[in-house]
Amino acid sequence: MRTYLVTGGAGFIGSNYIHYMFRKYGDTIKIINVDALTYAGNLENLKDLEKKENYIFIRANICDKEAIEKIFAENEIDRVVHFAAESHVDRSIRDPEIFVQTNVLGTAVMLNCAKAAWELPDGSFQKDKKFLHVSTDEVYGSLEKEGEYFCETTPYAPHSPYSASKAGSDMLVKAYMDTYHFPANITNCSNNYGPYQFPEKLIPLIINNALQGRKLPVYGDGKNVRDWLYVEDHAKAIDMVQEKGRLFETYNVGGHNEKQNIEIVNIIIETLQEMLEDSDPRKALVTRDLITYVEDRKGHDRRYAIAPDKIKAQIGWYPETMFKDGIRKTIKWYFEHEDWMKNVTSGDYQKYYNEMYGSR
């Protein structure tokens, strides 16, 4: 039975990946989920897996070297899938230091612990051990010209503390691959959306606010472009890179779904109007009048777009979910999990939301 160590598995992408892996492999794999359970980590995301004998949750911070060493010492880890990271740009602008600690130092701890556990006396590594570092397209900076796309050779040019910290973590992984021939890959993905996404991010924020008749905050002129990837397609890509990817390679994972932020907001409004029953009182609340333009984010990149040509050519992965289908699936999930949304939008999140958007 192959054992996977998944960091940040209680978060949005991590929990979707764990669900995907159990759907695909069932009881033929074991997953150890390590998560510090910060504001974005939510064990409700994995409630249906709690009684599985081949699923283990360990609450630990990836910066805690002793805790991570203990996990490697007590388990025969075959794969590491490293999601754990501070990931929200707005938070990084307000508190950069925690992003450096978690994203850079935490990645260094994970690399060192995996290296120590897998390395043989001659400096080579045990067979069939792999480390996958999950990163972002934001490390590449901003595309200024129409028709340009990020590829794996695009120079890094991060503009926010978040993207700079992720660029630093990528460089560490690259250094370990080059220096030690450490068995690793890096994936850089575009914006994800889908079930379990914490509602500080654009799509769940707009869905939640619209259903409550609250303002829909849009940064600047709303014309910033992002490439949107349905989270299950991302989970599939990660699995395929682990199984078929060439060691030491980086793979860009994009959705072929470029849209302006204001387009996303309008699509969500239209889709909610279509999906809500006429008898549902929330339908009358969901209108374009809720759209509110707010002061732009500092250092806001204008456009991201990924060319996933390499991963398609070498591995055979391609995004399967068109945005019009993915957004309906996402909204349907939020309709069916209203209690989940209520739980995560109470308390600290509400305080954060008011601080970020209340005065804009």
**Nearest alpha carbon to residue 113 among 58, 85, 74, 162:** 74
Q: Return the residue matching tokens 């992002």.
A: 226
19 C-beta neighbours (distance < 10 Å), count: 19
**Nearest alpha carbon to residue 7 among 53, 63, 51:** 63
Strand pairing report for 55-59 and 29-35: parallel
* Residues that are catalytic: 137-138, 162
Contact 54, 19 (CB under 8 A): no
**Nearest alpha carbon to residue 323 among 226, 257, 239, 241:** 257
CA distance to 31, 35, 76, 99, per residue, from 1 (Å): 10, 22, 10, 35
Contact 114, 72 (CB under 8 A): yes
What value does the CA radius of gyration of the chain take, rounded to a whole number of Å?
20
> What letter would DSSP give residue 100?
I
Q: Give burial (CB, 10 Å; 0-12/13-18/19+) of 350.
A: exposed
Chain Cα centroid distance, residue 108: 19
6 C-beta neighbours (distance < 10 Å), count: 25
Two tokens at 158? 């991060």
Contact 175, 167 (CB under 8 A): no
